[in-house]
Structure 1
Amino acid sequence: MNAAVFAPFAELLAEQGFRVGLLDLPGFGDSAPLRDGLTVAGMAAAVTHTLNDQLSAPCTLLGWSMGGLVATEVARQQQARVSHLVTLASSPCFEQRPQWPGIKPEVLAGFAAALELDFDGTLERFVALQAMGSRSARQDTRLIREALSKAQRPDEAALRQGLAVLQQADQRSLLAQLPTPWLRLYGRLDALVPASGIQLVDALAPESVSVILPKAAHAPFISHPQETLAALQQFHR
């Protein structure tokens, strides 16, 4: 995905007095791929460089889906730079593990294999998966497609490496090290981040705040922008 998918929600935030900046992760949108391949650490370093270059004061850092892994790593390393952390439809460990709900390994492996055979068709399936479960799935999918069309074609290597990040990343043991105020926002109907895992993250990060939107799926800022906004406003009070 690219940052254009956040443009309507960013406008809504700006109308409410938030100062908003949008970042493409490396290899997505207008951001160049990382020379050494996509990793959480590499993406976090790239985001940190941008924050240091463009901001003079601490900020709220928001990450969606895989971006939540990156935002969490930046917040862990750059406590003076990140005053608040927000993760949307994200998980410290996306792939299913023993005693940990997540995406089945064969599903992620299947997407990785399918990218090699039919890149465009697999990308379409992945876009549809973002909205699966939402009552406005058709409209949400259309908005995501429109956002994708406003930027460069996704880098194929970055997409493959992004899937590998989802397969391998596991931040569960790091969550206790996060002193930053942290809002975790979920959609109960999310097909990628099962609601059954939310309480497990509650236990790993008891100081964080979790909000569950009962009718949202994996893109709550698209399907339920007002409810997402309300959660952010409450978090910043």
Structure 2
Amino acid sequence: MSVSVERFGQGPDLVLLHGWGMNGAVWHGIVPSLAENYRVHLVDLPGFGNSPLADGVDYSLSWLAEQVAAVLPEKCHLLGWSLGGLVASQIVLNHPEHVASLITVASSPCFMARDEWPGIAPKVLTGFNQMLAGDFRQTIERFLAIQAMGSEHARDDIRQLRHWLAERPAPQLAALEAGLGLLADIDLRDELASLSLPWLRVYGRLDSLVPKAVIPLLDERYPASRSVTFNKASHAPFISHPTEFVEAIRYFVG
């Protein structure tokens, strides 16, 4: 299994992990700004973009984390968007000595709505699973629309994501199916309470996948972490508000 990494710039190492159905090209809009200060690493998660997935792999969160950890530079700043936030979190839990700081973007330690926990309605993920069985490209289009929903730049956001997504090979169905399973099943709320490294959590207030109601719950659960909310952003604040997003990363990482 070979994990593809694209690198830009010089400076402290900043690794970016994309979300479900996407690939590392989604960061291209902010790479020029980030590369002024950092050595930026764009990872294609296994089964997405230029990281082909072998047959018969147990696509668990722990397996994903180990595949990505193997290509990380020492003491990097690790940023994960959406599903990538779960992968980044698992890497930090497994290898805290390997990472200087954690940044999660539009992510939750528990994506699925549960008792007294806001999140994605189970019927939404079930619907995506059913759609995948028919036409996975149409499913990704639907997911792009949901990610941008609420953003004042929704059409532009979708157009940008679609453009960058098309720069690399289409995702593999097995990775898409397994990724939805992770979003439905993973709950890292208790494990992440043990984190001691610097942690920034970034949100869009209009996000329909990681609802704003989860932010104060995580503020209370992880008081040592910091949170930043973009009031007019949805699930992809780095697309809709690139300048402000990069400023927040620079302020946190230094």
- Alpha-carbon offset, residue 157 of structure 1: 1.1
Hey, what's the Cα distance between the residues in 1 that align with 2:25 and 2:180? 21
Mark the runs of 5 or more structure 2 residues left unpaired by the alignment: 1-21
Counterpart code for 2:203: Y
User: Aligned to 1:91, which of 85, 108, 112?
Assistant: 108
Counterpart code for 2:160: L
> In the alignment, does 2:130 pair up with 1:103?
no
Aligned twin of 2:62: 41
> In the alignment, does 2:22 pair up with 1:5?
no
Which one has a larger percent helix, Structure 1 or Structure 2?
1
More off after superposition, 194-203 vs 119-128: 119-128
Flag as ranges the 4+ runs of structure 1 deviating above 6 A: none
Hey, what's the Cα distance between the residues in 2 that align with 1:46 and 1:32? 12
Aligned twin of 1:71: 88
- Alpha-carbon offset, residue 68 of structure 1: 0.1
Question: What is the DSSP-based 3-state SS (H/G/I as helix, E as strand, rest coil) of the residue aligned with 1:180?
Answer: coil
- Alpha-carbon offset, residue 224 of structure 1: 0.4
Which one has a larger percent strand, Structure 1 or Structure 2?
2
Counterpart code for 1:141: I
TM-score by length of 2: 0.89
TM-score by length of 1: 0.95
Counterpart code for 1:36: V
Hey, what's the Cα distance between the residues in 1 that align with 2:119 and 2:91? 23
Q: What are the Cα deviations for residues 90-113 of structure 1, in whole angstroms up to 9, with x where unaligned?
A: 000001000000000011011101
Q: What are the Cα deviations for residues 49-79 of structure 1, in whole angstroms up to 9, with x where unaligned?
A: 111xxx2x31100000000001011112212
CA-based RMSD: 1.1
Counterpart code for 1:27: G
> In the alignment, does 2:38 pair up with 1:18?
yes
- Alpha-carbon offset, residue 151 of structure 1: 0.6
Aligned twin of 1:173: 190
Aligned positions of 1:120-131 closer than 5 A:
120-131=137-148
> In the alignment, does 2:217 pair up with 1:196?
no
Counterpart code for 2:114: R
Contact 2:77 2:253 in 1 (8 A): no
Contact 1:175 1:204 in 2 (8 A): no
- Alpha-carbon offset, residue 143 of structure 1: 0.8
Aligned twin of 1:229: 246
The number of residue pairs the alignment matches comes to: 232
Aligned twin of 1:214: 231
Aligned positions of 1:133-172 closer than 5 A:
133-172=150-189
Identity of matched residues, %: 49
Contact 1:127 1:141 in 2 (8 A): yes
